[in-house]
Amino acid sequence: MSFKENVTKIIENVGGASNVNSATHCVTRLRLILEDESAVDIKKLEENDLVKGVFSASGQFQVIIGPGTVEKVYNEFMKQTDAEEMSKDEMKKRNVEKGNLLQKGVRVLADIFIPILPAIVAAGLLLGLNNLLANPGIFYDEQSLLDVYTGWTGFAEFIAVVANTAFTFLPVLITWSAARKFGGSPLLGIVLGLLLVHPDLMSAYAYAENPGDVEYWNMFGWEVAKIGYQGQVLPVIFATWLLVWAEKHLKNFIPGNLQMIFVAPFALIFAGLLTFIVIGPITMTGSNWITDGILYLFEVSPAFAGGIYGLISAPLVITGMHHIFLGVNLQMAGTLGYVTLWPVSETATLAQGAATLTMFLILKHNAKLRGVSLTATISAWLGVTEPAIYGINLRFRYPFIAVMIGSAFGSAFIAFQQVKATSVGVGGVLSFLSVYPEHWASYFIGMGITFVITVGLTLFFSKTNMFHANNE
């Protein structure tokens, strides 16, 4: 069939145009709100040449198409239906009341972190590039590239400044994104973020080393510490929520012609004072406890902690709860200068691709699924795992089990070797660029363990009835 005919078949198999209430798309998926999901013919939908897989979550029926093609499918889909065109944010708002409190909290974190993730990933890659240039023993024995080619020193220093900018001003990125999420002014969010890292404040790093050197504001007899919030995540999110709350309530009773004069300063003073006096110290302590607790687990029993985290990494992606750990990684990168959870969890990305590549070899008599397997492998190893998860591995079940086990063993080894990365980096085969070069050997060995176990278990499970899905 032609491209247009395939899109027509997608519409028919989701219950027809009359069953489609609204539609949008993301990087890989067509996201639909349907009148009746029971009208969907999943079997015929998965036979479509354009479809890599389907699943339903949070009130949305999602059809996996793949990067690049999904936008073309969406445009043709909208031409052939009377569906309401909706942005991803509008669709999220429509589904915001669905799910329990934990799911709603995870959704909020995802909506805050995802928009700033490209800046964080770029910073991680640039830090990795700087490590390549400055670390000895990579290209020359006991010498760095800069030691041999001194003319590159200025360029390397510039790269380091660019790379560190995202972490130096991490609170600004978070307040901007959080203000948008909470329905406030992103510009006021930026000002609040700049306030929290103002150079007149003692930085959070200096305070951690010399808490006795902190200075105070005397506010009517109340001593308020002049401490910045560099590298913090949770305090910054709470501060932004206070800012937006104040902004909205001030607009309710200040006349419209006076709002531009009074709303911004009053909201900033209110949110700033409460942050520095109450919210900030409490949430900063809680954030540091979380970070210290995770580090403690990895110090007491690194292999066990890493193995458990590797085991649950793939299921966490399905539930969306991996965004909680994204916040922890950002907190680590901002306060410690390195992250440990991210390299441990990256085994799951490799494993998803390893499982689909193995399924490509197993599914010898199904050209459609072999095609899906191959494209899903490439996508997973470039950091996008949804086609692999929903198109193949969850559908057959046993490859997904192999992914979990393979990730657990690889992550246990990586955690045991105390592998560290500069920050959250790009996923897939290029992930090693964000890992400190001195840890590359351990990281590659851990990834190799994951690959071998995942492939071996996928082949073993395919020849038995263990974990097989009923709809194969």
Q: Where are the alpha helices (DSSP H) in 211-301?
A: 234-253, 259-274, 280-300
**CB 467, CB 461: distance < 8 Å:** yes
Q: Which of 26, 268, 273, 295 is catalytic?
A: 26
Report the relative pairing of strands 222-225 and 20-25 from DSSP bridges: unpaired
Name the strand (E) or helix (H) holding 183: none
Q: Residue 193 is encoded by which pair of tokens?
A: 């973020």
The DSSP code sequence of 56-97 is EETTEEEEE--TTHHHHHHHHHHHHS-PEE--HHHHHHHTTT
**CB 319, CB 326: distance < 8 Å:** no
DSSP structural state of residue 227? B
Active site residue 26: yes
Residue for token pair 């009359």: 18
**CB 464, CB 362: distance < 8 Å:** no
Vertex 309, ends 307 and 314: CA angle to 5°?
110
* Sequence-separated (6 or more) residues with CB below 8 Å from residue 151: none
Vertex 380, ends 375 and 382: CA angle to 5°?
100
Contacts 24+ apart (CB under 8 A), 130-135: 130/156, 130/159, 130/160, 130/163, 131/422, 131/436, 131/437, 132/437, 133/159, 135/436, 135/437, 135/438
DSSP structural state of residue 203? P
Vertex 348, ends 342 and 349: CA angle to 5°?
85
Torsion of CA 77, 79, 83, 88, to 10 degrees: 60
CA distance 203 to 326: 23
111-138 per-residue burial string, b: 16 or more CB within 10 A, e: under 16: bbbeebbeebbbbbbbbbbbbbbbeeee
Q: Residue 105 is encoded by which pair of tokens?
A: 């909290």
Closest residue by Cα to residue 80 from 9, 1, 2 = 9
* Sequence-separated (6 or more) residues with CB below 8 Å from residue 137: 143, 144, 437, 438
* Residues designated as active site: 26
